[in-house]
Amino acid sequence: MDLFRFPRPKTFAEASQLVQERQKPLEELVTRAYRDQAGEDWKSFQLGMFHFHTQYPGPWQEDWASHGLRTLAYDFEDKVLPGRDLPPEAGTIDGFIDYACKLLPSITTLQTPLLRFLIDKEPSRDQWRTYAASMYGRGRVHHGNLARLSLNLPREEYACFAYRMLGDEGGQGNYKKAHSTLILPFLEHLGGSIADTDRLGEIFEGKVLFNWMNRCFMHPNPVWGVATIFYLENQAAMEFTAMLPRLRKAKFPEEVLEFFTIHGDDPETELHNNMCRDMLRSHIKGPQDIKIANVAIRRAGDLFESLFARVAQLMEIKAA
């Protein structure tokens, strides 16, 4: 029985039966997968969830069975996700926010061998092109992250902020100014194209990260999504702020660096980061939410590290 691929059920009764038949095997698969987070069970679970997450553009278009199984998978993951230690001072809401802000610089992509190589060494044109292709891959899915987040926030104040971030990401409706589009001149200047990104899109570690983002932004508890956007926005600001002077030093023409200028030299970036911090503080209600936010932030950092290690391998960059 294939847990993740089946004909679209025609009735709710048919979907309900399909979910019931797969519920126990799915729980067993999730438990085995997270036991070592490697091997065939891990691969089977991640590729199955990637199918769920990409089969339909949004959760509102899912069939009842896919929706039910995806939601069950999130519940099963909640039970087996490894916890993360917290220092005593992070046990309060304000204490955790302070801890998270101090933690961020140590778990961003700037700490990876890939970014250290790009910043400190002399990359080849092909290596720059692979990095640019990986950037476009991240950029072209981020508007989807923000859209899912906006649908999952209970307070209008923060939903409206998510709309604002989504508008910024989408160039306020102007495709030529959408952030992902602004990466293309950098990629094309290096002789690359969207096809380079499509090839990188087959990297397994990228699919695992994509699954995690979807999980967090569609989870019934919005703390998962709020903590994840807190990480993503701060991580992006740190990475691209560091990359902007490096690229200027490498004599890249200014007209292909607009994406980096927006993220690394614009007051709006600091506003986004501050609002994400305030949104995280507002959504954490107690010790359980602190634990969730800590896992969400730390796991996002781990998965970015894994993805960047794989890209570095493709670029033949070795860890120092």
Name 45's Cβ contacts closer than 8 Å, sequence gap at least 6.
29, 30, 33, 73
| Residue 247 identity | L
Query: Tell me: the pLDDT tens digits for 186-213?
Result: 999 999 999 999 888 899 999 999 999 9
Candidates 131, 102, 101; CA nearest to 242 is 131
pLDDT number for residue 57: 60
* Banded pLDDT at 318 (limits 50, 70, 90): low
Give the dihedral sign, CA 192/249/170/212: positive
Query: Tell me: the pLDDT tens digits for 146-170?
Result: 988 998 898 888 889 889 888 988 9
Candidates 246, 281, 179, 215; CA nearest to 74 is 215
Q: Which residue has the tokens 């490498």?
A: 250
Domains of the chain by range and CATH?
12-80 (no CATH), 88-314 (1.20.910.10)
CB–CB of 240/263 below 8 Å?
yes
Q: What are phi and psi of 80, to 5 degrees?
A: -115, -5
First CA to last CA distance, the chain:
45
Query: Tell me: the pLDDT tens digits for 234-271?
Result: 999 999 999 999 999 999 999 999 999 988 777 777 87
What's the predicted TM-score (pTM) here?
0.93
Candidates 193, 135, 194, 141; CA nearest to 169 is 141
CB–CB of 39/196 below 8 Å?
no
Name 6's Cβ contacts closer than 8 Å, sequence gap at least 6.
18, 65
Name 154's Cβ contacts closer than 8 Å, sequence gap at least 6.
222
Q: Is the pLDDT of residue 79 over 90?
A: yes
d(CA 87, CA 90): 6
Name 65's Cβ contacts closer than 8 Å, sequence gap at least 6.
6, 8, 9, 14, 15, 18, 19
